[in-house]
Structure 1
Amino acid sequence: MEKVKKTKTKKAITADKIAEAYREQILTSGKVPASVFTFCKSIGITEGDFYKHFASFEAIEKSIWTNLIESTRKRIETDADYQAFGAREKILTFYFSLIEALKTDRSFILYQLKGWKQPLMPVFLKGFKTSFDEWINSVLNAGKVSGEVATRPYLDKQYDLLFWMHFMFILQFWTHDDSANFEKTDAAIEKSVNLAFDLIGKGVLDNALDFGKFLYQNAKN
């Protein structure tokens, strides 16, 4: 009886699998692979397989960061409770959720951010920032409509940049946090977001600006 030859089913080569292999090599060796050729050879794929998904190692790094924020946004934005929140609660929820996501990949995140100093932005954060800007602007615009965020000439156009700088502060704080379960980072998030809303909400700053305007007008008389 003729034997039927068994054919091996080739496993699908996906972007996620390539990114995971890249991440693992970096964390194991402590450095970026010498070349795309050596990387592909080490994980048993061709360069053609690699380039179907990524143009470079840099592109892999961008995708890892972008996937982190996109998956976080998708998870919270489909939650009915989140949609009912005001701007302050949405930002708190997003920050807490994103830090939780970063915890699952902390070793790689620390490797990526090693030696990074603000205000320079690493190339791998470009896609991440684009998604962040989309999210924060939607939250702030809704906050302006509800009255939770004050509309101020010139100043309110910079709110998104201020929150980006704010998140970069949180990210840096988290990388140096040595407290159990990063409890200090949670406290930093809550306190700094509350402070931010004291500044961009209607209240203290508006009164200060109004008083400054009053002093300026009366100084001319």
Structure 2
Amino acid sequence: MKHTKQLKSSDIISFYIDYVLKNNSKPSSVYVFTKENNFEETLFYQYFGSFEAIENAIFNTFFENTITTLDKSTDYQTFNARNKLLSFYYTFFENLTANRSYVVATLHSKKLDLKKINALSSLKTSFTNYIDTPIDLKQKNIVQIQQKSIKETAWLQLLITLKFWLDDSSANFEKTDIFIEKSVNTSFDLIDSTPLKSIIDFGKFLYKEKMNIN
């Protein structure tokens, strides 16, 4: 029986996640996907042009849910840039952990270079805009560094953390929390031109975990 109510984009996203988790792969076609979920193919195209567009929307939703949570926190509004970014990371990876099976199915099993995965393109845009405006990493001692370079570096750092999280098998992903703290602190200490202790501390952690981040 066809769905009689008007489906929302969030409904189609839920159908898609469920399909991927059940079949360990994306649907072979939009026709197959809509047929299995009992709604018209034309309705799919009202919201999405392709499965790639859905995947982009899913990862961007993780970002939007993170920002919504942070905006509700009065403490977050008073944080400096370092603590705002730490709060973002912890909250963002909580959202990913709540959907880990889907994220792993989409990213980890394919063993692709995360920088080249199209499903992350909308997330990249949202995150780099976040770095550029609300986080505001511009400081007087780095005024000659182009903001574009800062955003690209911040995005690479997020990808490295995502790879670490995908490979993390520690209880409650405690090692990822440590990785976040050390990597964010190192980044800000580099900006503040007092990096040595943090770099050594972060290097020791990476060596201990034998992390391959290439």
TM-score clears 0.5: yes
2:99 is aligned with 1:108: no
1:117-146 CA deviation, whole Å, 9 max, x = no partner? 4363211111101110111112453652xx
Q: 2:45: which partner in 1?
A: 51
Please report how far the alpha carbon of residue 53 of structure 1 lies from its aligned counterpart in structure 2 after TM superposition: 1.3
Q: 1:215: which partner in 2?
A: none
TM-score scaled by length of structure 1: 0.81
Please report how far the alpha carbon of residue 23 of structure 1 lies from its aligned counterpart in structure 2 after TM superposition: 1.0
Cα 1:125/1:196, change in 2 over 3 Å: same
TM-score scaled by length of structure 2: 0.83
Aligned residue among 160, 170, 175 for 1:169: 160
Residues in 2 aligned to 1:49 and 1:155: alpha-carbon distance in whole angstroms: 43
How many residue pairs get matched?
Answer: 193
Aligned residue among 168, 173, 186 for 2:177: 186
Q: 1:92: which partner in 2?
A: 86
Letter in 1 for 2:181: E
Contact 2:20-2:26 at 8 Å conserved across structures: yes
Gaps of 5+ in 2: 197-214
What is the DSSP-based 3-state SS (H/G/I as helix, E as strand, rest coil) of the residue aligned with 1:55? coil
Cα RMSD of the aligned pairs, angstroms, is 2.0
Please report how far the alpha carbon of residue 10 of structure 1 lies from its aligned counterpart in structure 2 after TM superposition: 2.5
Q: 1:200: which partner in 2?
A: 191
Contact 2:70-2:76 at 8 Å conserved across structures: yes
Gaps of 5+ in 1: 1-8, 206-221
Q: 2:8: which partner in 1?
A: 14
Aligned residue among 114, 117, 141 for 2:136: 141
Q: 1:151: which partner in 2?
A: 142
Contact 2:84-2:135 at 8 Å conserved across structures: no
Residues in 1 aligned to 2:47 and 2:142: alpha-carbon distance in whole angstroms: 43
1:50-80 CA deviation, whole Å, 9 max, x = no partner? 1111111111111101111012112202422
Residues in 2 aligned to 1:125 and 1:11: alpha-carbon distance in whole angstroms: 31
Cα 1:189/1:142, change in 2 over 3 Å: closer
What is the DSSP-based 3-state SS (H/G/I as helix, E as strand, rest coil) of the residue aligned with 2:142? coil
2:31 is aligned with 1:40: no
